[in-house]
Structure 1
């Protein structure tokens, strides 16, 4: 891995200097497939595809940052150019390699012996989608709030709620020249705590999820310290100590914040049935899924990502889970 960093002048009131980085991975790399999982729907105000680049807005210990990522070069000669602006720009640039999956080692997964142990669909997914890494944001509260919004509802409902709440309660991100309109920062802990009950209602968020986000926001400083804890077991235990957060939520958070290669979303509405259908042709439950994935302990999340990347879709029977409209209750 080769990294070069520089500081550039950026025009614009309040922008301060822009900080730039060029990251050159030593293996095939695909930026969109790697960080795309961090986008909460096509209309996520904190993650916008615009004119060949990916724009992100977030906060770190130094303050708010606007970050632009762009991949140049083909898969086998990729370079990622990153530029950040705002008070948190320097820290944002320092976090870019982890965000891009630089710490994610696929070496054991790619060894011939390990490849031979994989089901055909997982191998197919890896071969069809080389360059995939597992990103690590290190931003706990943002991930926790987003995943809580996804608890026991459809993806459409969760994405709508995230967008609605960011537009009304997140701050506008700094827009350097060329940045897209509508880029917004996720709410701070204080801003989450100030969301009135009627706005949760308008966003379609029920009382259980709003109360859980408020509890997490009240513990934000402790949650953020978990970003530096390498043990997935310890992070999971700490997250599950927050009322309203269980194993599924903790696993989904770890996948985003720590790039955990083994984190499995037990309790997911679709995952167990998908894994069972992909590996055996038959649906299964959570216990059956864990048994099927046991041969790849330590890399179970990688296997799941490869199964999804293969293009396999499980057969559908009966009606889909219908969105609930909590705004009229």
Structure 2
């Protein structure tokens, strides 16, 4: 199957696996334009880390390390998928393998064994592959010194950085920069523009329209065709500007600390659901006669994700029983009162979203809402601050749902919205949502929540995408 995908240069499989050519020592993405090698000369690996571990180096023509990520890490909820989401967010770089294992609730040995068995590489090798990709982006798109790039990418030393670049790309950092000298950034220090690939088709209009209509003053901005927002990152703050182009998203980042590059890129991909497999999703949903016309109208629909799980949870609580416009106003006042100001504002981006601690201690005047809802916001902040509610990318959706529903004022709708966006759960569904009910009636589906839930069983595991189709149809 893999060789057939390679022979047809099928870009849909980019990110699912890589092909390694034994005669050249190079590994490629399935859609590499080079001549297809003989079947006897190729091997297949599930990740670039596994190919690197086997001694192969990255193709500089097709750049397999820059392919869209595997959609498995969003659709699966097992240990391996949760670990991959946390590795993508940079947990290994910040907290080591021990920190990764602790967040997942397993021993380091068991985690390593599971990752090697399925992906062909352990957590350190997977993180190393990510470091190499981050370093290459910085080498080719900035004029930052190699010493700064080495430490910004997570390498422990200049020597380790040089050895890894030579091993992975068969070139020195100087040779990589010379080859792509035309891409060197002339922007201000800390500003980097990268291309984020995705699998077509993509409903960019629906995705960006969703974000645009819910933008919050101070932390988000819409400028022509570009969505901008402020970020709280592990080593500082930053901003991102995202514009959808043909086959990729142009992402411009302004970072206080370059060590946050890989985390910021990964969160941008999660926000726009760029690793989705639209062909599989559309094919599955189109089997329902009620959804088929919606799929044909909006092929490649995406589920908007999150850059901050706490922010999504607060949005869900604030949005209970009020309009989107009213929720925007309330959230803007919360950001103005409790958000941390950016050291250097970027246009209309002036703050980052408040911390859990700030929300837990918020005075009444900072939370312009009914008293019961103020209590919910404070309880939510306290629960996130003390670890009772985990909203990081590696959290399990069922555990998060249970923890959220234990808080006063949080019910299934709120918990479902949080798992859909903050945890990127593709199977979250909100049958009691008023907009869903109206859309169901318009499209010949049951409006009773129990009956609609029963009908939606056929849409699994893509019910969140069906939900987006229903919301868009109700709004149009």
Fold-level similarity (TM above 0.5): yes
Equivalent residue for 1:250, pick from 415, 428, 452 = 415
Is 1:101–2:273 an aligned residue pair? Answer: yes
3-state SS of the aligned residue for 1:94? Answer: helix
Larger mean Cα displacement after TM superposition, 35-44 or 99-108: 35-44
For 1:131 and 1:116, locate their aligned partners in 2 and report how far apart those are by CA, in whole Å: 12
- State the Cα deviation string for residues 8-29 of structure 1 (Å, max 9, x = none): 36999xx862344211223223
For 1:217 and 1:42, locate their aligned partners in 2 and report how far apart those are by CA, in whole Å: 21
Q: Indicate the structure with greater helix content.
A: 2
8 Å contact from structure 2 (residues 269, 275) kept in 1: yes
- State the Cα deviation string for residues 154-176 of structure 1 (Å, max 9, x = none): 33332211111112321333547
For 2:402 and 2:212, locate their aligned partners in 1 and report how far apart those are by CA, in whole Å: 26
Which one has a bigger Cα radius of gyration?
A: 2
8 Å contact from structure 2 (residues 318, 327) kept in 1: yes
For 2:398 and 2:413, locate their aligned partners in 1 and report how far apart those are by CA, in whole Å: 13
3-state SS of the aligned residue for 1:95? Answer: helix
Is 1:54–2:227 an aligned residue pair? Answer: yes
In structure 1, list runs of 5 or more residues that go unmatched.
Answer: 314-329
For 1:24 and 1:293, locate their aligned partners in 2 and report how far apart those are by CA, in whole Å: 31
Is 1:305–2:468 an aligned residue pair? Answer: yes
For 1:287 and 1:64, locate their aligned partners in 2 and report how far apart those are by CA, in whole Å: 44
Alignment-derived partner of residue 127 in structure 1 = 296
Equivalent residue for 1:199, pick from 360, 366, 369 = 366
Cα pair distance change 1:40/1:161, threshold 3 Å:
farther
In structure 2, list runs of 5 or more residues that go unmatched.
Answer: 1-13, 15-65, 68-132, 145-184
Q: TM-score, normalised by structure 2?
A: 0.55
8 Å contact from structure 1 (residues 172, 182) kept in 2: no
- State the Cα deviation string for residues 66-121 of structure 1 (Å, max 9, x = none): 11112233xxx34433423224742212322222213323343233xx3552234x
For 1:223 and 1:56, locate their aligned partners in 2 and report how far apart those are by CA, in whole Å: 28
For 2:450 and 2:277, locate their aligned partners in 1 and report how far apart those are by CA, in whole Å: 28
Alignment-derived partner of residue 144 in structure 1 = 313
Equivalent residue for 2:406, pick from 232, 241, 248 = 241
Q: CA RMSD in A?
A: 3.0
For 1:232 and 1:207, locate their aligned partners in 2 and report how far apart those are by CA, in whole Å: 28
3-state SS of the aligned residue for 2:439? Answer: helix
Higher-RCO chain (CA-CA 8 Å, sequence separation at least 6): 1
8 Å contact from structure 1 (residues 101, 133) kept in 2: yes
- State the Cα deviation string for residues 18-75 of structure 1 (Å, max 9, x = none): 34421122322344533543456355432211243211113133232211112233xx
For 1:312 and 1:117, locate their aligned partners in 2 and report how far apart those are by CA, in whole Å: 23
Q: TM-score, normalised by structure 1?
A: 0.77
Alignment-derived partner of residue 262 in structure 1 = 427
Cα pair distance change 1:138/1:51, threshold 3 Å:
closer
Q: How many residues align?
A: 298
3-state SS of the aligned residue for 2:320? Answer: coil
Alignment-derived partner of residue 321 in structure 1 = none
Alignment-derived partner of residue 28 in structure 1 = 201
8 Å contact from structure 1 (residues 72, 78) kept in 2: yes
8 Å contact from structure 1 (residues 19, 93) kept in 2: no
8 Å contact from structure 1 (residues 82, 93) kept in 2: no
State the shift of 1:289 in Å. Answer: 2.1
Larger mean Cα displacement after TM superposition, 33-42 or 260-269: 33-42
Alignment-derived partner of residue 317 in structure 1 = none
Cα pair distance change 1:68/1:34, threshold 3 Å:
same
For 2:340 and 2:205, locate their aligned partners in 1 and report how far apart those are by CA, in whole Å: 25
8 Å contact from structure 1 (residues 33, 132) kept in 2: yes
